[in-house]
Structure 1
């Protein structure tokens, strides 16, 4: 019974921590978790479209007042280093990020863009 209570307590603490983290995201601005996840997905797609064999990519974002600083690291299938860095000024419905993003694989710059994804089509916000 002690083990069950401990597992429940750990679960409750994790749930409270995740609620607190979401509560810190701005309601009318860029959310760091959403920007990092969307940039991760869209950068991976863009790199693969440029024939980069992405093994893994992981992005993080730190939000400011009107923009987010994005830093992604990863590896190709042949173990070359992938780096995607820049600033995101707008995120549209998990399908687009706008700003300035630069991707480098090894020593080669793969892209330097003002946006990733489908920035022309906006989907209804999820409730």
Structure 2
């Protein structure tokens, strides 16, 4: 198998793993992978809107019956630590997470919010 064949095989395995993880998420939109991905995107956008130069941010979530605990870690371009933590109680159309989230860059609190993104929509996300 050549290099391109190995890349294709690895890509196929990674895609299958992603699908199998997503398939485990509940239909109510509070699956761990959906919440972590949406929170990652929305928190990155909110930090950049507050002039934080985000180098990278990675979120994880663990879900309970009514909420998900979210923990994000990252770095700025000048190597300050980024932390976003909190609880998500609702996810809407992959454009909004509601709950309570706090972001800290270095020792400065950047935001402490009850929602990120466009939360004017009323349609719960489906995984």
Q: CA offsets, 1:63-112, max 9 Å, x none?
A: 11111100000001110000000000000001100000000000111110
Unpaired runs of 5+ in structure 1?
A: none
Whether contact under 8 Å (2:22, 2:34) holds in the other structure is no
Number of aligned residue pairs: give it.
123
The TM-score with structure 1 as length reference comes to: 0.82
The worse-fitting range, judged by mean Cα deviation, of 19-28 and 90-99 is: 19-28
Q: CA offsets, 1:33-88, max 9 Å, x none?
A: 11111111110111111111111111111111111100000001110000000000
Q: CA deviation at 1:24?
A: 1.6
Unpaired runs of 5+ in structure 2?
A: none
State how 1:110-125 maps to structure 2 within 5 Å.
Answer: 110-122=110-122
State how 1:45-124 maps to structure 2 within 5 Å.
Answer: 45-122=45-122
The TM-score with structure 2 as length reference comes to: 0.82
Whether contact under 8 Å (1:29, 1:66) holds in the other structure is no
The higher-RCO structure (CA 8 Å, 6+ apart) is: 2
The worse-fitting range, judged by mean Cα deviation, of 27-36 and 49-58 is: 27-36
Higher-Rg structure is: 1
CA RMSD of aligned residues (A): 2.5
